[in-house]
Amino acid sequence: MKKQIISIGVFLGFFGMLGFAQNTSVLSNLPEDEQSTIEAIALYPQQERAALLEASLHPEILVRMENIRKNTEEQFKEKVKTLPEDAQRKIYNLSRYPQLMEVLCQADGRRSKKEMQELLQAYPEEIHEDAIDINQGYFDEIKSIQELYTQADDVFQAMLSSYPQHVQDAFYALLKLPAVVSILTDNMSLTVLLGDIYSKHPDQLTRELDSLNVVVAEQQARDLQEWKQHLEDNPEAMSEYEQAAKEFAADQGYDDEVYSGEAPAVNPPQVYVDYVWQPYPYWFGWPYWYSYPCWYPYPYWYHWGYYYGPGDVVFFVGFPSSFFIGWTFYDDHHFYHYPHFTDQVISHYYGPRHSGAAVQPVLRSFEEGRKSAVPADWFKDPENRVERIREYGKFKMDYDEAVRVPANQTPPTEREFLKTNADKYPTLKPILKQPDQKEYQPKKLREYDPLPDGLPEKYIPKEKVIDREKTSHPEAVERAKESHENTWDRLRPAPQQQPQKVPQRTAPARQPPQKQAPPPRQTAPPKQSAPPRKN
C-alpha cells in the first residue's frame, strides 16, 4: 500500500517537481480527466510536439482538415469496395506511399514489370509485390484514386495559403502523422485550451511537456518491469495470457504472412533495426474492415505485448494494447476462461502504476459501466477475486444462453435472471440489494500512440488481413490450431545454425467488423529478455 501511495504521489506531484515556486504549472490548468491525452502528447518527440502545439493555435484548420478527410475517405471507400478483397488490401497498402502512387500515375498506362522493378528500388521491399500487382491489374482504378488524393491535397494547400509559412510547415508535418491529428480533432475542447495556454506561455508549456515526457517514460519503464515480474511469478496468469493471445489471433483472422521471413540463426537477447512505420494516409483513413482505429499496420504480437524469440523465449515489448485489453474485457466468456490473466490486469490497474498504461482507459470504462452488475468493491478487493471473476464469466455466459428465447417471449433482464438463479452465483447475489441502473454502453476508444522505438529485426511484418468472424473460446483455439496448421508455433522459432524459411500461406477471407474495440498503443523495445515460456 505504501509503495502504491508513493508511486501515485510521485506522478501527482509532477508539477511540483518542475520547480515552479508557487504552483504555477500551466498544465495544471487543463482538465484532470484529460490526463491520458496530455501524456500521449508529451510522449511524442520534441519536433512533433512543436508542430502539434502550433496546430493547437489554429483549431479552425483542424476542423477543415477533418471535413476534407471525411469527404475524401468516404469516396475512397466507395471506389475500393467494388474491387476484390485481395486488391482492396493491396491498394490500402499502396496508399501508404502517396509519392509512389503519384509516380505510377504519371505514366499514360501500365508500366512493364522491368520498369516497375527499377522504379521500386527506391521504396521498401514490403510494397514491391503489391505495387507490381496493382499496376498490372488495376491501373485505371489507382489513377482515379490518385486524382482523389490530389484533389484533397489541393484543397488543403489552398486553405493554408493565407497562413504564415511556419504555420503551413507545422500542418504539412502533421499531415504525415495522422495519429497526432486525431488527438487534436478528437479532443477539440482540450486542443483549444492547449492553444490558449501555448499562446500565452509558449516557453513554459514546452518545458513542462519536456519534463512530463521524462516522467511518463520512466514510469512506463517501471510499470512494464512490474508487469513482467508479476507474470513471471504467476505461471497460471501467463499461461492464460498466451491462450488468450491464441484466441485473439484466430478471432482477428490470424495470417502467418504477418510473420513471414527468415528465423534468426543465433540467440541474441535483442535484435533491432531502425524501421519507418509508414501510416495510412490521413485523407483516406485506415482500412474500413479494421474494428479499431489503426493508422499503422502493426503486427498482431504488438497487441499482445510480447513475441517468441529464439529458444522459445518470451520477449516483452510493452503492455498489451488497448485493443487487446478491450477484446479481453468486452467478451464475457473471457472472464470464465482467463480469470487469472484478468485478475493480473485488474491488479496492475489498482497497483503502483500510473503513466499511460493501456489498461487504464479500458478498465476505467469497464469499471464505471459495471457498477450495477457487480457488488461494491468487487474490483478493488483482491481476496478470492480469481474465483469471483470466473463466476461472473459463467453468469454472463449462462445469461446469454437464457435470452435466446422464441420471438413471442420476452427475454429476462440480467437482474431478473440473477434473482431467479441467485444461489448459483453467490458472489454476485449482493448486487440484488443495490439500486438498479441503466445498462452500460462502453465508450469508443481512440488511438493516441506515438510510434514504437524499435522492433525485432526478423519480425518486421508484412501486411495483415483481418477476419472478424466471431467464435467462442473452444472453437477459436481449435481454429488457431487447425486452420493455420501450426503457424502459431512458427512465432517461436527454435534456435538453428542456419536460417530457415517460414512458408507463406494465403490469409483467410475477412468479414467487415461488427463491433468497436480499442486501438493499439505505444511500446518500447525490451531491455532484458524474459525467462523461457512455461508450458
User: For residue 87, what are the CA distances in angstroms to 78, 114, 129, 134, 475?
Assistant: 14, 21, 12, 7, 30
- What is the mean pLDDT, run by run of 10 residues, along the chain of 535 residues? 40 42 70 81 92 96 96 96 94 95 93 94 92 95 96 96 97 94 92 95 95 89 89 94 90 52 34 57 92 79 84 84 85 93 87 57 74 76 88 93 84 91 91 67 45 39 35 44 39 36 32 35 36 41
Long-range contacts of 2-7 (CB under 8 A, 24+ apart): 3/352, 4/350, 4/351, 4/352, 6/352, 7/219, 7/222, 7/352, 7/353, 7/354
pTM: 0.69
For residue 67, the enclosing domain spans 63-160
* CB-CB contact of 24 with 372 (8 Å): no
Strands 272-273 and 455-456, by their bridges, are: antiparallel
Given this model, what pLDDT does residue 303 score?
A: 85
In a domain, 44, yes or no: no
Separation of first and last alpha carbons in the chain: 33
- Flag whether 47 is in a domain: no
Strands (E), 156-312: 272-273, 306-309
Q: Cell 508479476 appears where? A: 230
Amino acid at 89: R
As given in the structure block, the three cell numbers for residue 130 are 503489391
Count how many domains the chain has.
1
**Position 72 in a domain:** yes
Q: Which three cell numbers stand for residue 490?
A: 512458427
Strand locations in 360-439, DSSP E? none
Show Cβ contacts of residue 29 under 8 Å, excluding neighbours closer than 6 positions: 193, 197
- In this prediction, residue 511 carries a pLDDT of 36
Q: Are 524 and 452 in contact (CB under 8 A)?
A: yes
Residue of 263, 195, 189, 197 whose CA lies nearest to 495 = 263
Helix/strand number for the chain, H first, E second: 23, 4
pLDDT of residue 49: 95
At residue 421, the pLDDT reads: 94
Q: Is residue 507 part of a domain?
A: no
Residue type, 426: P
Question: 20 in a domain, yes or no?
Answer: no
Q: Are 56 and 195 in contact (CB under 8 A)?
A: yes
Task: State the Rg of the chain over Cα.
Answer: 25
Residue 254, classed as helix, strand or coil, is coil
Alpha-carbon distance 277 to 239, whole Å?
A: 31
In a domain, 455, yes or no: no
DSSP 118-152: HHGGGS-GGGHHHHHHHHHH-HHHHHHHHHHHHHH
Going from the C-alpha of 527 to that of each of 315, 411, 466, the distances in angstroms are 9, 53, 31
* pLDDT confidence of residue 352: 58
Q: Round to whole Å and give the CA distance between 275 and 454.
A: 7
122 lies in a domain? yes
